[in-house]
Amino acid sequence: MVEHDKNVKYDLAPLNGETASQRLPLALRGGDPGSLVLLEPNRTLLRSEAILAILTSLGGLWRALSLLRLIPKFIRDPLYNLIAQNRRRLSTTLCKPLSPEQRLRFLP
């Protein structure tokens, strides 16, 4: 995601890290580290809703993936969880190493 975020809209932080403990609502702090939380000014999105919002905002072909919203959330979230559980294995085969500038976008 960092590579495709050309406008630098998003920074990343672990759910059990310092940034999350300062910014997340208490109920979400220290949650499943494989999960995704997107904090926006007026809403907080979790798992598949968060990734679909991010993909939509990236624009281009990524926006087409927003059609996945047609799949009910009770199906999307378990699929998201399955991918999240295997993300380390997937990232070593699909992702390029991060540049020094991209590494700065990972908050404590």
Which amino acid makes up residue 14? P
> Tokens 């990343």 label which residue?
12
Q: For helices 47-58 and 73-85, what crossing angle results, to 10°?
A: 90
pLDDT tens digits for range 31-42 = 665 677 877 888
- In the chain, how many domains are there? 1
Q: Is the pLDDT of residue 2 over 60?
A: no
The answer to whether position 49 is within a domain reads: yes
Task: Give residue 8's pLDDT.
Answer: 54
The range of the structural domain enclosing residue 25 comes to 2-103
DSSP 12: B
The answer to whether position 61 is within a domain reads: yes
Question: Looking at beta carbons, which pairs linking 55-63 to residues 24 or more positions away fall under 8 Å?
Answer: 57/9, 58/1, 58/4, 58/5, 62/4
Task: Give residue 74's pLDDT.
Answer: 94
Task: Give residue 1's pLDDT.
Answer: 60
pLDDT tens digits for range 51-108 = 888 888 887 787 888 888 899 999 998 988 888 777 667 665 555 666 677 666 666 7
Tell me the pTM. 0.68
The answer to whether position 108 is within a domain reads: no
Task: Give residue 29's pLDDT.
Answer: 67
What H or E segment, with its residue span, contains residue 9? none
